[in-house]
Amino acid sequence: MANKSVFATIAGKLLPPADARNREGAQAYRLSPHQALAQLAATGTFNATFYAEPREQLDDVLKLAWQVEPGFLARTAVHAFEQGYMKDMPALLLAVLSSMQDDEFDRAFGRIVRNGKMLRNFVQVMRSGATGRKSLGTRPKRLVQAWLEQAADFEIMRAAVGNDPSLADVIKMVHPKPKSASREALYGYLIGKPHDASALPDVVKAFEAFKRDPSLPVPEVPFQMLTSMPLSREHWVQIAETAGWQMLRQNLNTFARNGVFEVEGFAEKLAARLRDPEEIRRARVFPYQLMVAFTMTGADVPGVVKDALQDAMEIALSNVPRIKGNVVVCPDVSGSMGSPATGYRKGATSAVRCIDVAALVAAAMLRRNPTARVLPFENDVVDIRLNARDTVMTNAAKLAAIGGGGTNCSAPLARLVREKAKVDLVVFVSDNQSWVDASAHAHQGTATMQEWQKLKGLNPGAKLVCIDIQPYATTQAKPQVDILNVGGFSDRVFDVVGTMLTSSGDPDHWVRTIEAIDL
């Protein structure tokens, strides 16, 4: 008799053979250059992850960047910045574009370099030599000069916060030609050169006056420029009143320590800003950042402010699709998901783990789709009871508290097959490094594809969405008309999922979404 381990029957049509190995050495599918670049751009932070070192990510991105068209590279950079809320990755892709002859670099630059932080990121990447050159070059230098000349005085002051390179370094590097006496004085002030103090912008004059006399009103400069000074409670109130939304979210405990919430009515005033839909939209906040702010708030932060953060979470996730039919969400809670979502970085490692992001996505899907099933998995499915009426924060915390074990991406699908469950949509949130269910033979496909094919036999119209939150260029489910692979941990991922569900079916739906960006 033939060896059944080799010649076992696979129900239905032949599966696509696995053509790659994942980071655990198990069978997987290789993403196309376009798909892989989109995945790395949405999740790569150039910090060490559970399976990859920063240099590996950089080498992978650079190799892929030269395998796609300049237009797609530019659109991927814009997508990573505008939809993925990434910073270092768009700067790197922009730096690669600067070495190409097409005009996509000029068009993408204005979409990505919108603030001083991104300007300094871009210059840092260019100076590093990571893309093959250590000088800016004529085109980049011209665009950096234009940004400096067009930026408002406050934006210039905000850009002056930070080093390596500092804004002074950038100014010395590109030698902008000031078009006014005020801007000429400002450049001199920032780089420590002689300048006409009487010509300085009002914001700089106010800052220098405040340094001499703290009894004056707090100047509208980045608060990082003020914190080394002896500030009173009244000063902190003024800072909070003029702070940006993200700064408010990040400094609630600081405000509490400095007595801001002791001022009658101020907690309610600040809470109103935190839950303001327009401010939330402009802030481009990651939902998981709201979860961190909520969990890290101390006892001195009033309840009305904490409630506002929960309201902000509901608003930030308003684009989670409502789905007709039977929905199953499968968050990966295995051991590797305990690693930081944005990787390990000495002195600046994020407190948010991959499992927190996966739990948040699952809880958000459940909140918008109350009849959805949630099947967390590691070696096998982990049974848990969740109440769809609980807040996203509450259910996310319950899921994130599981953790541990190996990765078995096929386990939830196998459970559904055994149950002969009726399913319209299955959503995975994982790092995709399945190995517990590793197949011995590439021609058999991955266990995930095998179980998905069985489930499709029971539910011919079902669709599978795999949300990958780590920068690895393989998948357990090969892209096809009923399978979408998408990467990232911003709320914009839900937009792609929603449009995929209403599309006629396209294995490259995510790539098409990026290609549709108008530069």
362 and 456 share one domain: yes
Cβ proximity of 500 and 484 under 8 Å = yes
Q: Is residue 506 part of a domain?
A: yes
- CA-based diameter of the chain, in Å? 96
Q: Is residue 400 part of a domain?
A: yes
Whether the CA torsion 216, 217, 218, 221 is positive or negative: it is negative
Identity at 462, one-letter amino acid code: A
d(CA 323, CA 335): 30
Give the pLDDT band (50/70/90) at residue 227: confident
Q: What is the mean pLDDT of residues 171-188?
A: 95
Going by C-alpha positions, the residue among 217, 277, 213, 276 that lies closest to residue 242 is 217
DSSP 135: S
Going by C-alpha positions, the residue among 88, 126, 59 that lies closest to residue 343 is 88
94 and 180 share one domain: yes
What is the chain's alpha carbon radius of gyration, rounded to the nearest angstrom?
A: 25
Q: Is residue 47 part of a domain?
A: no
- The encoded tokens of residue 170 equal 């950038």
Give the pLDDT band (50/70/90) at residue 12: very low
Q: Is residue 35 part of a domain?
A: no
Predicted confidence (pLDDT) per residue in 452-497, tens digit: 999 999 999 999 999 998 888 899 999 999 999 998 888 888 888 8
Asked which of 263, 294, 316 is the last residue of a domain, the reply is: 316
Asked which of 153, 170, 202 is the last residue of a domain, the reply is: 202
Q: Is 90 exceeded by the pLDDT of residue 257?
A: yes
In this structure, what are the phi and psi dihedrals at residue 312, rounded to the nearest 5 degrees? Answer: -60, -35
Residue 355, domain extent: 317-515
Q: Is residue 464 part of a domain?
A: yes
Q: Is 80 exceeded by the pLDDT of residue 436?
A: yes
Going by C-alpha positions, the residue among 388, 295, 89, 271 that lies closest to residue 280 is 271
Q: Is 70 exceeded by the pLDDT of residue 5?
A: no
Give the pLDDT band (50/70/90) at residue 7: very low
Q: Is 80 exceeded by the pLDDT of residue 348?
A: no
Q: Is residue 20 part of a domain?
A: no
Identity at 382, one-letter amino acid code: V
DSSP 69: -
Buried b (16+ CB within 10 A) or exposed e, 337-359: bebbbbbeeeeeebebbbbbbbb
321 and 457 share one domain: yes
Give the pLDDT band (50/70/90) at residue 98: very high
Percentage above 90 pLDDT, the chain: 64
Tell me which range, 35-39, 133-137, 221-225, is most confidently predicted by mean pLDDT: 35-39
394 and 454 share one domain: yes
Lowest-confidence segment of 11-15, 156-160, 312-316, 352-356 by average pLDDT: 11-15
Predicted confidence (pLDDT) per residue in 203-215, tens digit: 999 999 999 998 8
Q: Is 50 exceeded by the pLDDT of residue 8?
A: no
Q: What is the pLDDT of residue 283?
A: 87
Q: Is 70 exceeded by the pLDDT of residue 66?
A: yes
Residues paired with 353 in a beta bridge: 340
342 and 266 share one domain: no
Can you tell me whether residue 120 is helix, strand or coil? Answer: helix
- The encoded tokens of residue 277 equal 């839909």
Q: What is the pLDDT of residue 439?
A: 72
Q: Is residue 295 part of a domain?
A: yes
Give the pLDDT band (50/70/90) at residue 343: confident
Going by C-alpha positions, the residue among 435, 448, 431, 433 that lies closest to residue 488 is 431
**Whole-structure pTM value:** 0.88
Tell me how many domains the chain contains: 3
d(CA 217, CA 238): 8
C-alpha angle with apex 500: 495 to 502, nearest 5 degrees?
Answer: 100
Q: Which helix (H) or strand (E) holds 483?
A: strand 483-487
One-character DSSP codes across 2-45: --HHHH---SSSPPPPP-EE-TTS-EEEEPPHHHHHHHHHHH--
Give the pLDDT band (50/70/90) at residue 9: very low
406 and 365 share one domain: yes
Average pLDDT, whole number, for the chain? 90
194 and 269 share one domain: no
In this structure, what are the phi and psi dihedrals at residue 379, rounded to the nearest 5 degrees? Answer: -60, -35
Query: Which position has the higher pLDDT, 112 or 131?
Result: 112
Q: What is the pLDDT of residue 441?
A: 64
Q: What CATH number corresponds to the domain at position 387?
A: 3.40.50.410
Q: What is the mean pLDDT of residues 269-291?
A: 90
d(CA 467, CA 333): 14
342 and 302 share one domain: no
d(CA 459, CA 425): 10
Predicted confidence (pLDDT) per residue in 358-410, tens digit: 999 999 999 999 999 999 999 999 999 999 999 888 999 999 999 889 999 99
Q: What is the pLDDT of residue 502?
A: 81
Q: What is the pLDDT of residue 442?
A: 57
Torsion of CA 131, 132, 138, 143, to 10 degrees: 10
Predicted confidence (pLDDT) per residue in 138-152, tens digit: 999 999 999 999 999
Percentage above 70 pLDDT, the chain: 95
Q: Is 90 exceeded by the pLDDT of residue 186?
A: yes
d(CA 90, CA 96): 10
331 and 302 share one domain: no
469 and 483 share one domain: yes
Asked which of 316, 348, 371 is the last residue of a domain, the reply is: 316
CA distance between the termini of the chain: 62
d(CA 182, CA 200): 5
396 and 278 share one domain: no
Q: What is the pLDDT of residue 317?
A: 87
Cβ proximity of 260 and 237 under 8 Å = yes
Q: Is 70 exceeded by the pLDDT of residue 2?
A: no
128 and 234 share one domain: no
Q: What is the pLDDT of residue 325?
A: 93
CB proximity list for 392: less than 8 A, separation 6 or greater? 310, 313, 314, 317, 360, 363, 364, 367
Cβ proximity of 293 and 250 under 8 Å = yes
Q: Is residue 502 part of a domain?
A: yes
